[in-house]
């Protein structure tokens, strides 16, 4: 049983987790950096502990400080949210060593899925298709070239410890490999502490479709259907929806079966997401597993009517899964738009500053998860996600109409935001028809 939960995060996700805690009657503890004094997530919690300076490595990435805050506030569980320490198996392990419950998968599962090459090997062994590519790190440019010759150019160079699109590069031909290798290795080294890279085949116009999975301590793994997340910039998602429009039923059932088999093979517990690319012929390939709650989890919640965070807390506390597979249905359609503090007219440059006006839409079928309010300062130190707009409806058309209306009514002044760009995406023929792929945005489809 869990009684008091510390959320090792900030912004909208900390607030979302506190809400679930309150629903279960759990005491809530926030942590905050110097930049986040008085932030909404701090006021939402029963108690708050200052953990250090504004740069994340001095606060939200500082495991020692967070564990010490948990001791001070007598927390018995830590929820990591997403980002920051959520996919650090060392942190998950340290939480357990301290006698606390880590609300998430086991350190072993996080470690296995955090090593993207190991994940490719494990998924292949479990019968989950992966993209052609290397199953060992490529040591140097010559090694990358040898691997690239096997799979054929263009290829993707990826960081072995990767995620979030960091240290990832499309390489069109052998002559471009040396430069791309150096840049990707340097970025990977800076972000993850290891510059190890691997090679994968590059797909033209694939869709990004992922499957939400959930396991409990007794070996049961279920899926909560798919999310279509092809609208991306910098390999990071901007719009997500479920069900994935015009996904053939055979592909859908193949994806969910593969996701469950893959998660079972590693004894996965709690919430996780298996990400796949789907090619134009309906072939699908495992990309990676996110061993944590995802930004876009509300899409699945609105579609199924189930609360993923409440389930996370229950399962982490030792309860069995609250649902059977046949009870988990796609009852509605839902779309999420991520409102980032970025200027879409300047290549999505980050835009910091004070929120001077904030009018958020409300109404039937609209859900908002916001980390900011009027007067909030958007800092240069953290992820630029301000808030998420989620619209659901009985049909995709209804969800789309509601989303268009919500975006029209949404006013944020201060930092530049992605709202004008999101309006164009939602109004576009490409999105409306559901004929989406991950390269649409960089091809300028929404530049209007």
Partner 1 sequence: MAEEIKAHITGVVFQITTKPGDRVAAGDAVIVLESMKMEIPVEAPRAGAVKEIRVQEGQTVQEGDVVAVLE
Closest approach, Cβ 100 to partner 1, in A, equals 27
Nearer Cβ to partner 1 (49/339): 339
Burial-class residue 276 by CB neighbours within 10 Å (0-12, 13-18, 19+).
Answer: buried
Closest approach, Cβ 55 to partner 1, in A, equals 8
Q: Indicate whether 182 belongs to the interface with partner 1 (CB under 8 A).
A: no
Cβ proximity of 338 and 363 under 8 Å: no
Contact pick of 189, 194, 352, 398 for partner 1 (by CB under 8 A): 352
**Separation of alpha carbons 103 and 132, rounded Å:** 34
Nearer Cβ to partner 1 (352/439): 352
Q: Indicate whether 88 belongs to the interface with partner 1 (CB under 8 A).
A: no
The site for partner 1, by CB under 8 A, has a size of: 15
Restricting to residues 393-422, name those near partner 1 by CB under 8 A: none
Active site residue 22: no
Binding segment for partner 1 (CB under 8 A), chosen from 63-71, 104-112, 284-292, 350-358, is: 350-358
Q: Which of 292, 338, 396, 423 is catalytic?
A: 292
Contact pick of 154, 322, 353, 432 for partner 1 (by CB under 8 A): 353
Contact pick of 351, 370, 417, 438 for partner 1 (by CB under 8 A): 351
Restricting to residues 247-286, name those near partner 1 by CB under 8 A: none
Contact pick of 143, 245, 350, 434 for partner 1 (by CB under 8 A): 350
Burial-class residue 21 by CB neighbours within 10 Å (0-12, 13-18, 19+).
Answer: buried
Nearer Cβ to partner 1 (221/295): 295
The two structure tokens encoding residue 160: 């072995």
Closest approach, Cβ 419 to partner 1, in A, equals 17
Binding segment for partner 1 (CB under 8 A), chosen from 151-159, 241-249, 258-266, 377-385, is: 377-385
Binding mask 300-339 for partner 1 (x = CB under 8 A): ----------------------------------------
Nearer Cβ to partner 1 (382/446): 382
Q: Indicate whether 12 belongs to the interface with partner 1 (CB under 8 A).
A: no
Binding segment for partner 1 (CB under 8 A), chosen from 136-144, 305-313, 374-382, 426-434, is: 374-382
Of 281, 238, 252, 292, nearest to 417 by C-alpha is 238
DSSP β-bridge partners for residue 334 = 242, 392
Nearer Cβ to partner 1 (309/385): 385
Nearer Cβ to partner 1 (234/424): 234
**Separation of alpha carbons 410 and 408, rounded Å:** 6
**Separation of alpha carbons 388 and 295, rounded Å:** 9
Nearer Cβ to partner 1 (330/377): 377
Closest approach, Cβ 107 to partner 1, in A, equals 24
Q: Indicate whether 349 belongs to the interface with partner 1 (CB under 8 A).
A: yes
Closest approach, Cβ 412 to partner 1, in A, equals 16
Q: Indicate whether 155 belongs to the interface with partner 1 (CB under 8 A).
A: no
**Separation of alpha carbons 88 and 113, rounded Å:** 11
Restricting to residues 22-61, name those near partner 1 by CB under 8 A: 55
Contact pick of 380, 394, 397, 411 for partner 1 (by CB under 8 A): 380
Closest approach, Cβ 264 to partner 1, in A, equals 33
The set of catalytic residues is 292
**Contact footprint for partner 1 (CB under 8 A):** 55, 187, 234, 341-342, 349-353, 380-384
């Amino acid at each position: 049983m869990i009684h008091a939960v510390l959320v090792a995060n900030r912004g909208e996700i900390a607030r979302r987790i506190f809400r679930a805690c309150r629903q279960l009657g759990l005491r809530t503890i926030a942590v905050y950096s110097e930049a986040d004094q008085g932030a909404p997530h701090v006021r939402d919690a029963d108690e708050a502990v200052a953990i250090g300076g504004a740069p994340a490595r001095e606060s939200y990435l500082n495991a020692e400080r967070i564990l010490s805050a948990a001791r001070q506030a007598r927390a018995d569980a830590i929820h990591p949210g997403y980002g920051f320490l959520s996919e650090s198996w060392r942190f998950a392990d340290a939480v357990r060593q301290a006698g606390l419950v880590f609300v998430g998968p086991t350190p072993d599962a996080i470690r296995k899925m955090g090593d993207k090459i190991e994940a490719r090997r494990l998924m292949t062994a479990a019968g989950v298709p992966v993209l052609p590519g290397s199953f060992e790190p490529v040591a140097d440019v010559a090694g990358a070239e040898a691997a690239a010759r096997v799979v054929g150019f263009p290829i993707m160079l990826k960081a072995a410890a990767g995620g979030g699109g960091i240290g990832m590069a499309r390489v069109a031909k052998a002559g471009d490999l040396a430069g791309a290798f150096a840049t990707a290795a340097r970025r990977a080294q800076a972000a993850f502490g290891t510059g190890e890279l691997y090679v994968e085949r590059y797909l033209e116009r694939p869709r990004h479709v992922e499957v939400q999975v959930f396991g409990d301590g007794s070996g049961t793994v279920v899926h909560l259907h798919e999310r279509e997340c092809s609208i991306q910039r910098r390999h990071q998602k901007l719009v997500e929806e479920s069900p994935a429009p015009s996904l053939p039923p055979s592909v859908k059932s193949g994806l969910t079966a593969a996701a469950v088999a893959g998660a079972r093979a590693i004894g996965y517990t709690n919430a996780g997401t298996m990400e796949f690319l789907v090619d134009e012929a309906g072939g699908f390939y495992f990309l990676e597993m996110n061993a944590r709650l995802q930004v876009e989890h509300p899409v699945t919640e609105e579609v199924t009517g189930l609360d993923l965070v409440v389930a996370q807390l229950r399962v982490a506390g030792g309860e069995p899964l609250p649902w059977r597979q046949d009870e988990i249905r796609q009852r509605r359609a839902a779309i999420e738009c991520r409102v980032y503090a970025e200027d879409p007219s300047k290549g999505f440059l980050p835009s910091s500053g004070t929120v001077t006006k904030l009018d958020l839409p409300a109404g039937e079928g609209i859900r908002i998860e916001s980390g900011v309010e009027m007067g909030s300062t958007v800092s240069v130190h953290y992820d630029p996600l301000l808030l998420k707009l989620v619209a659901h409806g009985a049909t995709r058309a209804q969800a789309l109409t509601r989303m268009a209306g919500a975006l029209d009514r949404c006013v944020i002044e201060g930092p530049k935001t992605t709202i004008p760009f999101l309006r164009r995406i939602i109004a576009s023929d490409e999105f409306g028809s559901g004929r989406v792929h991950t390269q649409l945005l960089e091809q300028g489809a929404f530049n209007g």
